[in-house]
Amino acid sequence: MEAHLIEFLGMLLRWLHVIAGIAWVGSSFYFVWLDDSIEPPEPGSEAERRGVAGELWAVHGGGFYNPQKYAVAPARLPRKLHWFKWEAYVTWLSGTALLVIVYWLHAQAMMVDPSVASLTGAQAVGVGLASMAASWIVYDLLCRSPIGRSGPTMAAVTFALLTLLAWELTRLLGGRAAYIHVGTSIGTIMAANVFFVIIPGQRRMVEAMRAGRAPDPADGLRGKQRSVHNNYFTLPVVFIMISNHYAATFGHPQAWAVLALMGAAGVSIRHFFNRRHKGAFAWQYLAVAAVLLGAVAVWTAPHVRALPAVSGPVTLDRVRAIVGQRCVTCHSQSPTFTGITQPPAGVVLTSPAAIVQNAQRIYQQVVVTRIMPLGNATGITDEERAVIAAWVAAGAKGL
């Protein structure tokens, strides 16, 4: 019952996380689109006299809308002002809660990979936590430094540092956990941008207006810079959040470089849209993304690593013995592996029938991607992988 409740809580959190993330990414897309699409009002028009720097007309859901952007702020504070922050905070809070229950509480199984580095569970969590905190500190210092003043330089430096982070994390943690912690580091930067820079700056602007002072345009510019960065982070971060379904990416021997290529493709696609909305020719950015994605497709294509020759007949009994020794500590109705409370992915491998039924999935996980046994926690040998491969190749016959 307890395991079921934890699982159920995890499901609710994931649901909430995706919904809040959609709202946050959606408003990021919308406002950057708005900024890119507005045009200055007619010279001498009433809007121009009110200090409107740009406006547009849109039709949506049967209504006509006319958003206007002020150069800094309107002369008078409106009675009701809408803020956008809760979608960011809820996304970060629900995401962090998920990170804790899925990864940190089961660090030994979900984060440590002894073939990568022999860390304890607590050390692995420390690495994850430190990467998130350090990412924000370094990024924030960069933004405040002269580097932050140039968009392209900032983009290049941030990209290089995040690639370095991915490289370092894949040397310390299992691929899946390394990926997710690059994602939570970027997510933390994004949420901290809202919490520590954008919202406080807006608050100062509103307070100045309330006190009858002119708001400081620097607050507006700083907020805009962080908001544009967040916009470019969206596609890479969403890719990372779904990447744990795709072992070909995080399970690749150069998983960090695969991630860098996917991230660059994501940024390039976002740039394509942002330039297009400004009315510029931008298809080259889409072409770059297509080339990068094509390269990843080719580079991550599965090639089965050479396995030692198998001696003797391959029978289900032999496979059963291997599975019994290397898999069922996790893949049984009541797993005995520390931190695993339910059969992972619902896969139970305790009966011969279940092994036959799951033969293709077992082959994929054990021979092709070699993701299983997770982090090779149970020390499967190449000879044993070869037996499984030979058994499946011979038709995965039952008893």
CB of 161 to ligand HEC, least distance (A): 29
**If binding is defined by CB under 6 A, does position 331 make contact with ligand HEC?**
yes
User: Quick check: 103 and 111 in contact, CB under 8 A?
Assistant: yes
Minimum CB separation from ligand HEC for residue 385, in Å?
A: 8
User: Could you tell me the smallest distance in angstroms from the CB atom of residue 130 to ligand HEC?
Assistant: 24
Binding to ligand HEC by residue 109, rule CB under 6 A? Answer: yes
Q: Give the integer Cα–Cα distance in Å for 367 and 330.
A: 18
**Binding-residue total with ligand HEC (CB under 6 A):** 23
Kindly indicate which of the ranges 23-31, 65-73, 188-196, 376-384 contains the residues binding ligand HEC, using the contact rule CB under 6 A: 376-384
Q: How far is CA 114 from the centre of its chain?
A: 24
Q: Which is nearer to ligand HEC, 205 or 330 (CB)?
A: 330
Shortest Å distance, C-beta 97 to ligand HEC = 18
Cβ burial of 336 (10 Å; 0-12, 13-18, 19+) is: exposed
Angle of CA points 241, 83, 135, to nearest 5°: 40
Q: Is 377 one of the binding residues for ligand HEC (CB under 6 A)?
A: yes
Cα–Cα–Cα angle for 125, 129, 133, rounded to 5 degrees: 170
Give the Cβ contact number of residue 233 at 10 Å.
Answer: 24
Please give the Cα distance from 108 to 377 (Å, whole number): 9
Q: Does residue 321 belong to the site contacting ligand HEC (CB under 6 A)? A: no
From 97, 117, 129, 347, residue interacting with ligand HEC (rule: CB under 6 A): 347
185 binds ligand HEC (CB under 6 A): no
- Comparing CA positions, the residue from 262, 260, 244, 242 lying closest to residue 369 is 244
Among 28, 326, 370, 391, binds ligand HEC (CB under 6 A): 326
| Sole binder of ligand HEC in the list 154, 267, 380, 387 (CB under 6 A) | 380
Nearest 5°: phi and psi at 159? -60, -45
Nearer of residues 26 and 398 to ligand HEC, judged by Cβ: 398
User: d(Cα 359, Cα 397) in Å, to the nearest integer?
Assistant: 9
Least spacing, CB of residue 370 vs ligand HEC, in Å: 10
Q: Which is nearer to ligand HEC, 32 or 396 (CB)?
A: 396
Residue 57 Cβ vs ligand HEC, minimum distance, rounded to whole Å: 47
Residue in 389, 390, 353 with CA at minimum distance from that of residue 370: 389
In angstroms, what is the minimal distance from the CB of 194 to ligand HEC? 30
387 binds ligand HEC (CB under 6 A): no
**Nearest to 99, CA basis, from 194, 166, 181:** 181
Site for ligand HEC in 356-375 (CB under 6 A): 358, 361-362, 365-366, 372-374
Provide, rounded to whole angstroms, the least separation between the CB of residue 172 and ligand HEC: 18
Nearest distance in Å: CB 285, ligand HEC:
33
- Rounded CA-CA distance 201/73 in Å is 13
* Closest distance to ligand HEC from the beta carbon of 380 (Å): 5
Neighbours of 117 (CB within 10 A): 15
Buried b (16+ CB within 10 A) or exposed e, 342-352: bbbeebbbbee
Closer to ligand HEC by Cβ: residue 96 or 325: 325
What is each CA distance from 240 to 65, 181, 384, in whole angstroms? 35, 9, 32
| Lookup: tokens for 213 | 């002072």
- Closest to ligand HEC by CB, 316 vs 380, is 380
Q: How far apart are CA 352 and CA 349, in angstroms?
A: 8
Place of tokens 């044993």: 384
Residue 96 or 376 having the CB closest to ligand HEC: 376
User: Is 330 near ligand HEC (CB under 6 A)?
Assistant: yes
> Which residues contact ligand HEC (rule: CB under 6 A)?
109, 323, 326-327, 329-331, 337, 340, 344-345, 347, 358, 361-362, 365-366, 372-374, 377-378, 380
